[in-house]
């Protein structure tokens, strides 16, 4: 069936048609390749000049270097140069001028002018011959040395006067008691079984004896017996800066039934 088909057995007898088709394709491809060359956008002279004269952009700023770390200053210790008087050292440079040391000229005393007897005009009575007018009495001739003023008199320190009376606590003064008289218990207070404490203000003289007594507090029945007994007490003398003084203190007398 296929052997009789014209599709398999047909052949082109016109060769020139193939060549024309191939040449047309080459021509079309050449036109496509050459056509862009005729439509190139050529810049004008003004544009080309502007492009050449356009300023160049500035270069980028340099990158800042990191700040260097400040180093602490190094401490230098220079040992002071010691001067040795036993060694002579030559100077490094020779000075152009050498300083001259001139001795001080001591003023000579002025001689009294002729015609003046006993001194110079304006002198001090009792001065020395050849003195200078306006000088200091007792000074050295020549006006160089002056006698120093006399030293001030020595002032003796005043010793503070001790007080006539000082106040001492009762417990401290009780330790200085050397003679104590026990109070007589009143018969009425004993029968009534009255007890208590009598407080007295006492002034002790420089000899340690009681000079005066004043009542502070206490039962009236016991006060008289307490004061009669305390008036007979004797203490050691109290000294202040080596001087015996009076003492103001408080005396306590206890009344209790045994």
pLDDT tens-digit readout, 38-89: 766 666 667 767 777 766 677 778 777 777 666 766 776 666 666 566 676 7
Give the model's confidence band at 126: pLDDT under 50 very low, under 70 low, under 90 confident, else very high.
low
**Global model pTM greater than 0.85:** no
Q: What is the pLDDT of residues 227-258, one digit of tens each?
A: 999 999 999 999 988 889 999 999 999 998 87
Beta bridge partners of 253: 198
3-state SS, residue 137: coil
Cα atoms in the 13 Å half-sphere on the side-chain side of 177 = 19
- Per-residue pLDDT, 8: 45
Hey, what domains does the chain have and what are their CATH numbers? 165-255 (3.30.2420.10)
Beta bridge partners of 198: 253
pLDDT of 35 > 90? The answer is no
pLDDT of 34 > 60? The answer is yes
Phi-psi region of 85 (alpha: psi -120 to 50; beta: other; left: phi over 0): alpha
Which residues are CB-neighbours of 106 under 8 A, at least 6 positions away? 142, 144
Are 204 and 249 a contacting pair, CB within 8 Å?
yes
Mean pLDDT of 213-225: 93
Are 139 and 127 a contacting pair, CB within 8 Å?
no
- Between CA 137 and CA 15 the distance in angstroms is 165
- Per-residue pLDDT, 2: 44
pLDDT of 144 > 60? The answer is no
Beta bridge partners of 210: 204
């Amino acid at each position: 069936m296929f052997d009789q088909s014209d599709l398999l057995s047909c052949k082109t007898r016109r060769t020139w048609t193939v060549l024309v088709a191939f040449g047309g394709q080459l021509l079309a491809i050449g036109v496509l390749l050459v056509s862009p060359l005729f439509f190139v956008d050529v810049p004008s002279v003004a544009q080309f000049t502007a492009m050449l004269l356009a300023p160049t952009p500035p270069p980028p700023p340099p990158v800042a270097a990191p700040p260097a770390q400040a180093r602490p200053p190094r401490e230098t210790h220079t040992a002071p140069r010691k001067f040795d008087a036993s060694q002579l050292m030559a100077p490094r440079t020779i000075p152009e001028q050498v300083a001259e040391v001139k001795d001080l000229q001591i003023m000579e005393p002025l001689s009294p002018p002729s015609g003046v007897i006993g001194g110079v005009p304006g002198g001090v009575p009792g001065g020395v011959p050849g003195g200078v007018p306006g000088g200091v009495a007792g000074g050295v001739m020549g006006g160089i040395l002056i006698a120093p003023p006399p030293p001030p008199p020595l002032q003796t320190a005043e010793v503070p006067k001790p007080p006539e009376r000082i106040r001492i606590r009762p417990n401290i003064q009780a330790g200085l008691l050397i003679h104590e008289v026990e109070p007589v218990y009143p018969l009425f207070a004993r029968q009534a079984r009255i007890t208590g404490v009598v407080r007295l203000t006492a002034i002790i003289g420089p000899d340690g004896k009681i000079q005066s007594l004043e009542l502070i507090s206490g039962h009236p029945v016991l006060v008289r017996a307490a004061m009669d007994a305390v008036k007979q007490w004797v203490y050691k003398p109290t000294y202040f800066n080596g001087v015996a003084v009076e003492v103001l203190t408080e005396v306590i007398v206890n009344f209790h039934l045994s």
